[in-house]
Structure 1
Amino acid sequence: MCGITGWASFRPPTDHDAPARASVIEAMTATLTPRGPDAGGVWLGEHAAIGHRRLAVIDLTGGVQPMTDRAESPALVLSYSGEVYNHHRLRSELRSRGHDFRTRSDTEVVLRAYAEWGEDVADHLEGMFAFAVWDTRAERLLLVRDRLGVKPLYWAAVDGGLAFASEPKALFAHPEIRPRVDADGLREAYSLLFNTGPTVWSGVREVEPGGLLVLDRSGIRERRYWQLEARPHGDGRDETVERFGELVGRAARGQLEADVPLCSLLSGGIDSTVLTALLADELQLREGPSARIRSYAVDYSDQAEEFTGDVLRTGHDTPFAAEAGAFIGTDHSTVVLDPRALLDPEHRRAVVVARDSPIGVGDMDTSLYLLFGEIRRHSTVALSGEAADEVFGGYPWFHSPKALAARTFPWLLVTGDEAAMPLNPGLDLRIGEFRDDTYRDSLAAVPHLDDETPTEHRQREMQYLSLTRWLRQLLHRKDRLSMAQGLEVRVPYCDHRLVEYAFSTPWELKSFDGREKSLLRAVGAGLAPESVLYRPKNHYPATHHPDYNRGLQNMARDALADETVRSLADETLIKPCLDTAPDQLQWGHRLRLERVVDLALWLDHHQPELAL
């Protein structure tokens, strides 16, 4: 896992350009050092500059980047982030087609695959990736992002071309790209719709998941090489369970390769427990019966005494995680965090800097960042259960009549205006209209079969919205906070073959036992304790300690002392949250305070131009 950046421009260079261009690509690359703490490099040509920061995971000595197809007068230059899990098979195929290899890295497989298939290269890759190829012969830049958008990739126009990067902060190191925010950007950030394409930053866009972008002398061209399709499902229940078992198992086994220490995130829920069990079994097959995978959970020093349920959490994770670890036989650790660590201003600032965005989830972001920092002391790669809820129908909105009947994005019933920091009404952003328009457009994009029942039709909409929107912000959060600590997180449930099969599986099979995640529960039989298999859905834990609430209220008061923060936030709805007794502060109202604090940190760090 790494950080990539660079640009291509067809503006004629001058004799004075070379030193400045070298300085710029070095500065852009340096901003991504946390993503790639092991090594860095740049390549500079007449019309392109390519930078790379490396987190070494496979072929520690051979996978140095930017990688070229040959040492002298290269025709191709690659900067690549991610993991291609079918690289061994592709290497054999490419060798049979006459390609020679200097390394055993998956990076070189991507490079040679481009040489063989050009912009169709993505069709042959399985994994999570974002990469740029500069083709000196064709004078063409290709940007490619994986199918589910696990790895980020941003771009912005520059004179004569475009610049690209794993994170916006690298783009802002280019002299032609400044951090600027307009009304459209605030709508994107605070509407909680998780569009892909436009961002909070004016002029900065994302390459679509499953998409690619080509820049050459004729201009910029974008297209999707993959998207969800509705296909007839002919398998019965037993066949479907068997097929899901094969797909989940293959995804888990295929992502276990690493030349560095590897671990699993084990929360005590069904998603992470089934995944960890499959990883543990595969590790023993490869290394012997004594092999044990490390597993990690997070908890708070007050949780056992202070836990109270809310709209997202039904119970205390730690006992279930410990039981699951013992059942599987992992080397299990619980990272226990103190509320004071979550309030540490430097930790909060580091999280906001990592996100490049004012929108997060407060203490849950900070705790995840700290958890990843602790894991990084022992492991470089972690596997996570992200996307199981989207794939198997685990969220409450798949099962709530109210959510199914609502004509809006289902998560807004939980994380809408009551949870988001309210913006100053004087800004007149018309977020309600924006949400309505976006919802209509989103439903229009959902693929359907002609013979769907009304229930099947609606559930396909819910899964499509969850996979193409809600999941994106979870993947964004996981990528930014893990890479800020130099930790690679893999997500086997995002395997596109698993997602495709799930999207075409009828709802009556997904809920055949009358509750959420029926098919994953069937796959997990014997892999997890019964208590975990039948445990209700529980979201990522938050601290419940009044001292945290009290400290957060103080930080929010300080944030509101800033004139710019006050101009953006609706004080009339925020101030009552400051006056509430700390032990009575509701989760949704607390999130308002979290976002006031994050807004202040974001403004202070980026110093954006506000064009409202």
Structure 2
Amino acid sequence: MAEVVLHAYLRWGHEAVERMEGNFAFAVWDARTDELLLGRDRVGIKPLSYALLPHGVVFASEVAALAAHPLVTPEIDDNGLCALVTQLRSPGRGALRGVYEVPAGGTVRFTRDREIHRRYWTLEARPHTLGREDTLKQIRELLVDAISRDLRGLDPAVLLSGGLDSSALTGLIASNSGKPPRTFTVMFGDTAAAVPDRPFAEEVVQMWGCEHHEVAVRPQELSDPVLLSSVLAAKDHPSPFGDKNITPFIFSRRVAERVPVVLSGEAADAIFSGLSGATDGVREPSMFPWIARARGFGMEYGIGTGLFDEALLRSVDVAGYLDRLYREAKAEVPQLAGTAAVDRVAREVDYLHVTRLLEQTVYHSERLGAAAGLQIRFPIADHRLVSYLYNVPWQLKRFDGREKSLLRAIAKDLVPPSVLTRAKVPYPITYDAHYKASLVTRLRMLLDDSTAPVRPLIDLRRATEVIENHRLLDRGGWLGRADVEMVLQLDSWLRRLRVRVNL
């Protein structure tokens, strides 16, 4: 990668990024002009952060590396706490004060006296004139092209959940390459989700004759303190997703023992409007859709916020922060004049998911995989496909009244009928009693530690109630657990980066 970037830069200068493909983040120092160029891929799968110093700039793919620099003081203010709690940041802004991110599809160039930002790619609104069959044909061609780019020179391998996205990906590879991919499925046994992946994955494997591998994750592994530390380091930010972080890390580590690169069907929910829900084009959203859904479950600021001190969240104005970020994002949405209301709303919802939520899925998996020694590629997040689907009218995207209608139609001859009709389920989580007990133990230890950096930020009464009544962990299935996970991860993150809280 480094050699390719350097040759491209020598030939095309700072415009070389427009000719690059795939997922990347790079830095080029040009000693001829004393200029530094930072660049990031179009969708923002690879991370790249930087901090400005009085006499220069430091950059790294990990925020933790910046925080460790002797001239950087890791600190969070009101906005930083809001960013961490809500899992949302303005493009280009980091959670730590004075730390910035190269935006997806952007470059930042530093000269002797200037800082120059440039967007080389973004979503654009264009007319769509094709009917259903021609649209399906074009999407399938784009998918096949993206897969072939990601598999160039590699034996195919897929992370197969048995859901529509990964199953369709498996079928596309097998039908177009003439060679079924190796497939990998994670297993929990009887402690996983109510709808198991195994029988669906097995049907896909049998349909295409794949060499299949089941990767077992023991619930006891999820509480290993060394593993927990490794996962937090890999993620580089705290999150409320707990074993939804740990399991993919273990899974990736074991898959990496067999193959160096795999393809994933992640991003399909955002790209194929699988998260939009029903819309009639009249009820415009007034908040990020996933925050609005969380509020429907009584979580005003999003998942994982239930144990923070409510008075503190009001004082730093988390509600105002969310409203401000939503209005910023909404103002960015490219629209066509005269667009029907339903398509205008649909474009807005899709734009929000692609530009603000996607990093919680694809970015999440890429970081965990890379830290485990596995390169995960996401053909469905190819920028050509993203751009095309952004402009497909809503009626076509949900022509059969279901989510991801277009992908379902493409997959009709690629997956077993059971997969086509399978109800959508989240990534498998463990319901193991030992894991939940370990969360309570860790929370109790945190409350007993008067020096815990997260302690002043939480509602001690609510946290104590969770310790005294373990059933609160099961609120909403796993939402109560997410509150505890977020507090524990934030505390570990503040300690690890030696972050000063300055509210």
TM-score normalised by the shorter chain: which range applies? over 0.9
Backbone CA RMSD of aligned residues = 2.1
Equivalence for 1:567? 456
Alignment check: 8 A CA contact 2:174 2:180 kept: yes
Alignment check: 8 A CA contact 1:193 1:409 kept: no
The AA in structure 2 aligned to 1:566 is R
Alignment check: 8 A CA contact 2:252 2:369 kept: yes
How much does 1:537 deviate?
2.1
The AA in structure 2 aligned to 1:558 is M
Equivalence for 2:167? 273
Q: How does 1:13-412 map to 2 (within 5 A)?
A: 80=1, 107-258=2-153, 263-284=157-178, 291-303=179-191, 307-308=193-194, 315-395=195-275, 397-399=276-278, 406-412=285-291
CA distance, structure 1, for counterparts of residue 138 and residue 99 of structure 2: 41
Residues 340-373 of structure 1 show CA distances to partners (whole Å, capped at 9, x for unaligned) of 1111121111111222222241011011111111
The AA in structure 2 aligned to 1:580 is N
How much does 1:414 deviate?
3.9
Rg comparison, structure with higher value: 1
CA distance, structure 2, for counterparts of residue 594 and residue 402 of structure 1: 37
Which residue, 418, 421, 424 being the options, matches 2:309? Answer: 424
Q: Greater shift after overlay, 347-356 or 422-431?
A: 422-431
Alignment check: 8 A CA contact 2:281 2:346 kept: no
Secondary structure in structure 2 of the residue aligned to 1:516? coil
The AA in structure 2 aligned to 1:191 is T
Secondary structure in structure 2 of the residue aligned to 1:142? strand
CA distance, structure 1, for counterparts of residue 254 and residue 282 of structure 2: 38
Alignment check: 8 A CA contact 2:244 2:428 kept: yes
Percent identical among aligned pairs is 38
Which residue, 536, 541, 554 being the options, matches 2:423? Answer: 536
Question: Within the alignment, does 1:606 sit opposite 2:497 as a pair?
Answer: yes
Q: How does 1:484-495 map to 2 (within 5 A)?
A: 484-495=371-382
With over 3 angstroms needed to count, the CA separation of the structure-2 counterparts of 1:164 and 1:583, relative to structure 1, is closer
CA distance, structure 1, for counterparts of residue 157 and residue 447 of structure 2: 41
Residues 391-418 of structure 1 show CA distances to partners (whole Å, capped at 9, x for unaligned) of 11112x4326899654111101344446
The AA in structure 1 aligned to 2:172 is L
With over 3 angstroms needed to count, the CA separation of the structure-2 counterparts of 1:215 and 1:343, relative to structure 1, is same
Residues 283-316 of structure 1 show CA distances to partners (whole Å, capped at 9, x for unaligned) of 43xxxxxx5422111121323xx644xxxxxx22
Question: Within the alignment, does 1:480 sit opposite 2:367 as a pair?
Answer: yes
Secondary structure in structure 2 of the residue aligned to 1:354? helix
Alignment check: 8 A CA contact 1:180 1:609 kept: yes
CA distance, structure 2, for counterparts of residue 294 and residue 161 of structure 1: 47
Structure 2 length-normalised TM: 0.92
Residues 493-549 of structure 1 show CA distances to partners (whole Å, capped at 9, x for unaligned) of 111110110001101100111111111111112111111122222221111223322
CA distance, structure 2, for counterparts of residue 609 and residue 553 of structure 1: 26
CA distance, structure 2, for counterparts of residue 520 and residue 566 of structure 1: 46
Residues 8-56 of structure 1 show CA distances to partners (whole Å, capped at 9, x for unaligned) of xxxxxxxxxxxxxxxxxxxxxxxxxxxxxxxxxxxxxxxxxxxxxxxxx
How much does 1:126 deviate?
2.1
What is the aligned length?
Answer: 491
Secondary structure in structure 2 of the residue aligned to 1:436? helix
With over 3 angstroms needed to count, the CA separation of the structure-2 counterparts of 1:404 and 1:577, relative to structure 1, is farther
How much does 1:279 deviate?
2.3
How much does 1:339 deviate?
1.6
Secondary structure in structure 1 of the residue aligned to 2:151? coil
With over 3 angstroms needed to count, the CA separation of the structure-2 counterparts of 1:344 and 1:333, relative to structure 1, is same
How much does 1:551 deviate?
2.2
The AA in structure 1 aligned to 2:224 is D
Stretches of structure 1 lacking an aligned partner (at least 5 in a row): 1-79, 81-106, 285-290, 309-314
CA distance, structure 1, for counterparts of residue 128 and residue 106 of structure 2: 26
Greater strand share, 1 or 2?
A: 1
The AA in structure 1 aligned to 2:29 is W
Alignment check: 8 A CA contact 2:142 2:384 kept: yes
